């Protein structure tokens, strides 16, 4: 069984150093999880993904790699329900495009270090203004919706271009819900509205998780 995640307190660090430290700990912790554990957790993630999208007809999602919250089964289930699923297609530099999921057999790795991508036409980030739900990966999320990403800034740039009132979910493991401190945040970092974990699915604003975070921070400064 995977050991608990123990994040160092980083309030005394500058934001870049704090993010680097936290990412390193989160990645190492994910690498300790076995394939059997990932498979079991993937089933629970899928259940909550389907609940999160409700009656949606379209969703922006992602293809998991390595120790990320698994999406393989969820992608299969969404496609089986006739839901249009847009997946990231990473163009040159930081260009942000999306392609339609047409099955796992259609996905291919186009460059080292990038997740598998769908073939066919692509759309700019403006396409996210037309989907019903957005679900993105994260390494951790705090009680204010601050998301710790992998460091490339791709999703922050994408989310900044959403003008429609679309709910944005982050998928993390339960122990990556951080109620002990505020995660470092720059002006360009985009927050999320809700989280999906193997055990939980909820909007952050007004949630017990947010209240727990606020109480913990108050105690730490009293």
d(CA 133, CA 126): 14
Residues 204 and 183: beta-carbon distance below 8 Å: no
pLDDT of res. 87: 97
Pair of tokens at residue 51: 């609940």
Whole-structure pTM value: 0.94
Give mean pLDDT in consecutive 10-residue pieces for the chain, a chain of 222 residues.
80 89 95 93 96 94 95 96 94 80 94 87 90 96 96 88 90 96 91 97 96 93 80
Coil vs helix vs strand at 212: helix
Q: Give the count of alpha carbons within 13 A of 99, CB side only.
A: 19
pLDDT of res. 74: 97
Neighbours of 107 (CB within 10 A): 18
């Amino acid at each position: 069984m995977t050991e608990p995640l123990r994040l160092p307190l980083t309030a005394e660090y500058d934001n870049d150093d704090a993010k680097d430290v936290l990412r390193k700990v989160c990645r190492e912790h994910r690498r300790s999880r076995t394939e059997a554990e990932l498979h079991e957790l993937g089933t629970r993630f899928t259940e909550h993904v389907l609940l999160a999208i409700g009656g949606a007809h379209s969703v922006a999602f992602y293809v998991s790699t390595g120790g990320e919250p698994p999406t393989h089964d969820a992608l299969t289930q969404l496609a089986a329900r006739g839901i249009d699923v847009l997946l990231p297609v990473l163009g040159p530099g930081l260009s942000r495009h999306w392609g339609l999921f047409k099955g796992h057999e259609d996905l291919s790795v186009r460059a080292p270090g990038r997740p598998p991508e769908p073939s066919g036409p692509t759309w700019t980030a403006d396409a996210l203004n037309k989907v019903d739900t957005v679900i993105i990966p994260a390494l951790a999320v705090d009680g204010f919706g601050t998301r710790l990403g992998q460091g490339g800034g791709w999703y922050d740039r994408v989310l900044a271009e959403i003008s429609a009132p679309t709910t944005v979910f982050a998928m993390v493991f339960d122990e990556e819900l951080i109620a002990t401190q505020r995660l470092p945040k720059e002006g360009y970092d985009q927050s999320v509205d809700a989280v999906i974990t193997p055990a939980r699915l909820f909007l952050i604003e007004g949630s017990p998780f947010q209240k727990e975070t606020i109480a913990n921070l108050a105690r730490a400064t009293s």
